């Protein structure tokens, strides 16, 4: 018998922000919960296939941040990583979640770690996929961009060519990467006001680097169970960022893949079973 997850698509108001999210409805009411925190320049749709595969056994919840996907913000919303974390925190409270594992990818790492520091009691486990929390996890190109990027340079990242490159770059077999992801991402990037939102977040990214030591201290203190999966050909977050987690989480399960930034795109068959085993062991 073939079983496919039932997935619902909803909105939740968080202080005037209309947060869109997708959520699987598992067979068990007490199923483990995994909060999926997406990256740039994507949204919750990047987890569609993962939700379909694992959503029968686990409750997977994926919101869109302000400035991404289907989420709608009031006029004058100020974009920063602190504000994204504020909205995700309100989203978690609105859903009544009190314990969950977090999947943090790219922008999901600074959002998720802010949430973890504020509410360590919420975090039952950590799945990290190319989500950086260490200086050595930044390539020279990333460091230059974070500290020296100009407005026009940031906007140059918001084109279809660049968006596609983030999906296909570093992959061993680009034929395994569906074009739907980067095409949909670009649609959202081209909506009114979205490029300005991304420029603001790009200039605020340095605030994340300033919090790395705080996040590392949280890991050392609370020692959450952790699964680290990493595309080693990521141009922004290279392989040393994956190994660095073992300093603070020496019991973490580390898996490296011959791919780039969006590792789920071409390595879902390998990564999904790892996540399932991790949730079964952690919950």
- Looking at 45, 187, 222, 261, which residue is catalytic? 261
Give the number of C-alpha atoms closer than 13 A to the C-alpha of residue 183, restricted to the C-beta side: 4
Contact 54, 25 (CB under 8 A): no
C-alpha to C-alpha distance for 78 and 201, rounded to whole angstroms: 10
Burial (CB count <10 Å: 0-12, 13-18, 19+), residue 52: middle
Element (H, E) at 216: helix 212-222
3-state secondary structure of 45: helix
Residue 101: phi and psi, rounded to 5, are: -90, 155
In angstroms, the Cα distances linking 237 to 200, 256, 265 are 20, 13, 17
187 classed as catalytic: no
Residue 32 near residue 123, CB atoms below 8 Å:
no
Residue with tokens 């594992």: 101
- Residues annotated catalytic, as ranges: 261
């Amino acid at each position: 018998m073939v079983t496919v997850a039932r997935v619902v698509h909803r909105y939740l108001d968080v202080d005037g922000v209309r947060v869109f999210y997708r959520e699987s409805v598992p067979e068990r009411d007490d199923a483990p919960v995994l909060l999926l925190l997406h990256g740039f320049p994507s949204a919750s749709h990047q987890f569609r296939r993962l939700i379909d595969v694992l959503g029968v056994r686990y409750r997977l919840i994926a919101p869109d941040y302000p400035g991404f996907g289907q989420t709608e913000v009031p006029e004058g919303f100020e974009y920063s990583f602190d504000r994204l974390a504020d909205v995700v925190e309100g989203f978690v409270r609105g859903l009544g979640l009190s314990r969950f594992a977090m999947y943090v990818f790219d922008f999901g790492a600074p959002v998720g770690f802010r949430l973890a520091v504020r509410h360590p009691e919420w975090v039952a486990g950590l799945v990290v996929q190319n989500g950086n929390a260490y200086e050595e996890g930044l390539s020279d190109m990333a460091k230059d961009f974070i500290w020296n990027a100009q407005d026009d340079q940031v906007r140059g990242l918001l084109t279809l060519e660049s968006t596609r490159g983030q999906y296909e770059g570093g992959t061993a077999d680009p034929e395994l990467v569906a074009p739907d992801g980067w095409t949909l991402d670009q649609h959202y990037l081209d909506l009114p006001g979205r490029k300005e939102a991304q420029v603001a977040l790009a200039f605020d990214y340095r605030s994340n680097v300033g919090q790395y030591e705080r996040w590392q201290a949280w890991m050392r203190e609370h020692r959450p169970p952790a699964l680290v999966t990493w595309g080693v050909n990521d141009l922004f977050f290279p392989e040393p960022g994956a190994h660095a987690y073992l300093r603070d989480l020496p019991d973490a399960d580390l898996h490296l893949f011959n791919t780039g930034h969006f590792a789920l795109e071409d390595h879902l068959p390998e990564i999904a079973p790892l996540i399932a085993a991790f949730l079964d062991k952690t919950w």
